[in-house]
Amino acid sequence: MRVALFATCFNDSMWPETPKAVVTILERLGVTVEFPLEQTCCGQMFTNTGYAREALPLVERFADVFGEYDAVVAPSGSCVGSVRHQHATVASGCDRPALADRARTTAGKVFELSELLVDVLGVTDVGATFPHRVTYHPTCHSLRMLRVADKPLRLLREVRGIDLVDLPSAEECCGFGGTFAMKNSDTSVAMGSDKAHHVRETRAEVLVAGDNSCLAHVGGLLTRQRSGVRVMHLAEVLASTERDFAVDNELGDPPAATTTQHTDTEATT
Amino acid sequence: MSGTFIGMPKFQTAAKEALGNSQQRRNLQHATHTIREKRARVVEELDDWEGLRQAGADIKDNVLSHLDTYLVQLEESLTRAGATVHWAGDAAEANEIVTSLVRATGADEVVKVKSMATQEIGLNEALEEAGIAAWETDLAELIVQLGHDRPSHILVPAIHRNRAEIREIFLREMGHVGTPPPAGLTSEPRELAEAARVHLREKFLRAKVAISGANFAIAETGTLVVVESEGNGRMCLTLPETLISVVGIEKVLPRLEDLEVFMQLLPRSSTGERMNPYTSTWTGITPGDGPQQVHVVLLDNGRTDALADTVGRQALRCIRCSACLNVCPVYERVGGHAYGSVYPGPIGAILNPQLRGTTSEVDQSLPYASSLCGACGDVCPVKIEIPDLLVHLRTRVVDEHRGGMPSGEEIAMKGAAWMFSDHRRWEKAQKGAELGGRMFRKKDTIGRLPGPLSAWSDARDAPVPPAESFRTWWKREKEGQ
């Protein structure tokens, strides 16, 4: 099976640790992943702001670049949502029926990270260790567009050392909404403040989600509030092993458990 | 008398003001969460809810694709049953028809059943100009009318008020227009409702003319249906001599049996009840019983424009239940007034630009009044894909602006699209970001951004770009470049 990584343009340029984490997880599971360098952006921002004509070449590029793979994985619910739910619509709306067909075929092979792990690879324990108090925000497009349901939570529950706590009103939107965060910044911040409040109620150290854009919004509020809560992409939590938190040790002690770093790999299937 | 939505600013401006009203935000949060939970409980009870939604959508889609046939059939059925049918192309025409019908009776007042169609056309204001007093008899509409306010919700137009505010409005205003509330009125719901009951009873018994809308109009039989909770509708529909109903042309259902589907969908979606307390149906005139003059004004007012858009037309399936308002995180915080229409919330954001066109500032801004979270689409009882229609209408707004002087946004979007259309250009742009990332290396976040980006950083820290993109890392680590 040829698996391609669609990093997404945001992650590629702003949050490279997230696609790196996807590579780490998949390699640990014995899956070789390719990164076609011709990839750029899925066009979601253009489509959702009303610029379908500008999105069209990106829809075509996506089908060109990823059409040949058996599976494509992306660490973003909203980008996968756009590919699966909007690409064919954009092509049809611009009178490109053949492209719409191609976009539909390609979209059928594109998976959000938790979908690839749970549905395609059949794994919930990816051999991760993350000894922190964590709460999980199910982002809207993962939840209501892709219907990933509890897949990310099933993955998180298998993480060693994790203290996973429920987020109150978890299914409510954080208020990011792409260009909504800029065009309707006051409403966006009002929604995000309520989300940040719920996150703080949980006394979690880390807020986890499957979309860095939503996390940048809530995280931006949490740091402005000096809340001490970190935000982290689901992939980065799932990529963490004992070695990572040993190195992270704030006392600067040398890594204590390096010998165990790869022992979890067998527990993955 | 009551407020008007004419000349509303764009959504963002009105929203900013509304967000500052902490009392209103508390009222809205409490009310929307209460209805939301009630709805969820009663929907959960039905194991064929998804089947019902699909049936509702299918019936409405069939009506919309054969609207001409069903409307003619409805007119024939109504006429046969003794009703007089009038056709109104727009609000002004509908107001003129109703005003002259009322004038012909010699009455100088009418009682009204809560009706979105008459709110939409501004009928109360038109009647007032003609010297005819229109009394709203739905409790929440009465509160809005007495408070010289505007409705902020389809089903609960006074949702932005709490009972303390309602008491004040009653004490201040009721006596000017009829029976005053008792001295010593408290904010107990029971006392407030009783004050309204006594106030309204006088008007019901005196009125010669009633004006209503209709939730459904059955083409086959000419039967109109009003679904309500308070019994005020039943009073208006039975006591007066003349009944005038203003009905949007999309309200047609082919057969009486179709009500089976909608009478399950509507109460559960709107008030969160298994069944509403009062359902009134009437078919033209029944000699010796009820109104002996029955008029039906069939209203277009932009509906055929919406129908012409094969994607957008599904908004006309709407049965005005308000479920989408009650789950909307934007509506919950901003309230209904910022939408500049009697149709607020997600459905308003897709309906108003279609009914009114996209020429005004507010109608251009409405499709953007959503984070596209999708909660509205999930609860819609007739499966209107509200998020998809919002995006569709955004495209319409953008396309209508093309060709003129490009906005800053258009230039930025075109520039970004050009960059993304070739990965080498994208890589060059990333190199620039990496340079910025190295400059900010000691910082975790950026507290202040320049120009339009300050819309982000006024309340949120911004992330610092990394010193190395994923692509650069991949090339080095995996491809040895």
Domain ranges of chain A: 3-120, 133-268
Query: What is the predicted pLDDT for the residue at A268?
Result: 39
**Mean of per-residue pLDDT scores for chain B:** 95
Cβ within 8 Å of A, B 408-427: 409-410, 413-414, 416-417, 420-423, 426
Mean pLDDT of B381-410: 95
Kindly determine whether residue B374 and residue A37, on different chains, have CB atoms separated by under 8 Å: no
Pick the residue with more confidence: B405 or B275? Answer: B275
Residue A63 confidence (pLDDT): 98
Best residue in A24, A54, A189 for a mutation probing chain B (most B CBs within 10 Å): A54
B6 touches chain A (CB under 8 A): no
C-alpha separations of B76 from A91, B81, B222, B228, B295 in Å? 44, 9, 8, 27, 13
Count of CA atoms in the C-beta half-sphere (13 A) of A143 = 19
Nearest CA in chain A to B433: A13
d(CA B148, CA B58): 40
What value, to the nearest 5°, has the Cα angle with vertex A75 and ends A63 and B377? 80
Contact A9 B426 (CB under 8 A): yes
Q: Cα separation of B196 and B200, whole Å?
A: 6
Mark yes or no for CB contact A184/B330 under 8 Å. Answer: yes
Query: What pLDDT band is residue B243 in, cutting at 50, 70 and 90?
Result: very high
Per-residue pLDDT, B6: 65
How many contacts does A have with B, using Cβ atoms within 8 A?
A: 193
Q: How confident is the model at residue A249 (pLDDT cuts 50, 70, 90)?
A: low
Residue range B304-360, pLDDT digits in tens: 999 999 999 999 999 999 999 999 999 999 999 999 999 999 999 999 999 999 999
The confidence score (pLDDT) of residue B108 equals 97
Shortest CA distance from A17: residue in chain B: B470
Q: How far is A113 from chain B (nearest CA, A)?
A: 17
Partner residue facing B374 (CB), from A48, A140, A224: A140
Q: What is the pLDDT at residue B4?
A: 58
Does the distance separating the beta carbons of A19 and B413 come in below 8 Å?
Answer: no
Q: How far does the CA of residue B469 sit from the closest CA of chain A (Å)? A: 5
How far is Cα B291 from Cα B160, in angstroms, rounded to an integer?
35
Per-position b or e across B156-174, b if 16+ CB within 10 A of its CB: bbbbbbbeebbbebbeebb
- Distance from the Cα of B438 to chain A's closest Cα (Å) equals 13
Q: Does B290 touch chain A (CB under 8 A)?
A: no
Cα nearest neighbour of B10 on chain A:
A184
Q: Of A48, A187, A227, which to mutate for an interface test with B (greatest number of B Cβ within 10 Å)?
A: A187
Domains contained in chain B, CATH given: 50-303 (3.40.50.10420), 422-479 (no CATH)
Kindly determine whether residue A45 and residue B329, on different chains, have CB atoms separated by under 8 Å: no
The helix/strand/coil state of B5 is coil
d(CA B138, nearest CA chain A) in Å? 31
Q: Which residues of B touch A9 (CB under 8 A)?
A: 420, 426
At residue B242, the 3 state secondary structure works out as strand
- φ, ψ of residue B296 to 5 degrees: the values are -125, 120
Pick the residue of B413, B461, B470, B479 with the most A CBs within 10 A to test the interface with A by mutation: B470
Distance between A3 CA and the closest CA of chain B, angstroms = 15
As a whole number, mean pLDDT of residues B419-445 equals: 89
Distance separating alpha carbons of residues B246 and B239, to the nearest angstrom? 18
Taking CB atoms and an 8 Å cutoff, what residues of chain A touch B409? 49
pLDDT of A86 over the 70 cut: yes
Give the residue-averaged pLDDT of B368-388: 98
Q: Output the pLDDT for position A262.
A: 43
Question: A34-43, A53-62, A250-259, B235-244: which range is least confident on average?
Answer: A250-259
CA-based nearest distance A209→chain B, Å: 15
pLDDT recorded at residue B445 = 86
CB within 8 Å: B369 and A48? no
Q: Which residues of B touch A193 (CB under 8 A)?
A: 459
Cβ of B474 within 8 Å of Cβ of A35? The answer is yes
Give me the residue from B452, B455, B473 closest to A16, CB to CB.
Answer: B473
Q: Give the list of residues 6+ apart from residue B335 with CB closer than 8 angstroms, or none.
A: B18, B21, B24, B25, B28, B152, B159, B160, B344
For B:429-448, CB contacts with A below 8 A are 429-430, 433, 444-445, 447
B275 inside 8 A of chain A by CB: no
d(CA B475, CA B332): 47
Among A40, A94, A143, most B C-beta atoms within 10 A, so best to mutate, is: A40
- pLDDT bucket at B451, cuts 50 / 70 / 90: confident
As a whole number, mean pLDDT of residues B178-207 equals 96
pLDDT for B441 = 72
The alpha carbon of residue B480 is apart from the nearest alpha carbon of chain A, in Å, by 14
Which residue in chain B is spatially nearest to A54 when comparing CA positions? B417
Residue B266 has pLDDT above 90, yes or no: yes
Rounded Cα–Cα distance for residues B79 and B461 (Å) = 66
- SS3 label, residue B248: strand
Contact B329 A188 (CB under 8 A): no
pLDDT of B7: 66
B-chain CB neighbours of A224 within 8 Å are 447, 459-461
Which range is least confidently modeled, B101-105, B223-227, B448-452? Answer: B448-452
Question: Which tokens hold the place of B45?
Answer: 């009870």
Percentage of chain B beyond pLDDT 70 is 99
Q: Check if B407 contacts A (Cβ < 8 Å).
A: no
Contact indicator for B314, B385 with CB cutoff of 8 Å: yes
Q: What is the mean pLDDT of residues B37-66?
A: 98
**Mutation target vs A (from B10, B36, B372; most A CBs, 10 A cutoff):** B372
- Is A220's CB within 8 Å of B391's CB? no
> How many Å apart are CA A253 and CA A255, to the nearest integer?
6
Interface of B with A in 329-368 (CB under 8 A): 329-330, 333-334, 367-368
Overall fold of domain A133-268: Rossmann fold (3.40.50)
Band the pLDDT of A260: cuts 50, 70, 90.
very low
Q: Between residues B227 and B448, which one has the greater pLDDT?
A: B227
SS3 per residue for A139-179: CHHHHHHCCCCCHHHHHHHCCECCEEECCCCCCCCCCCCCC
Of residues B389 and A259, more confidence is placed in: B389
For residues B252 and B70, the answer to whether their CB atoms sit within 8 Å is yes
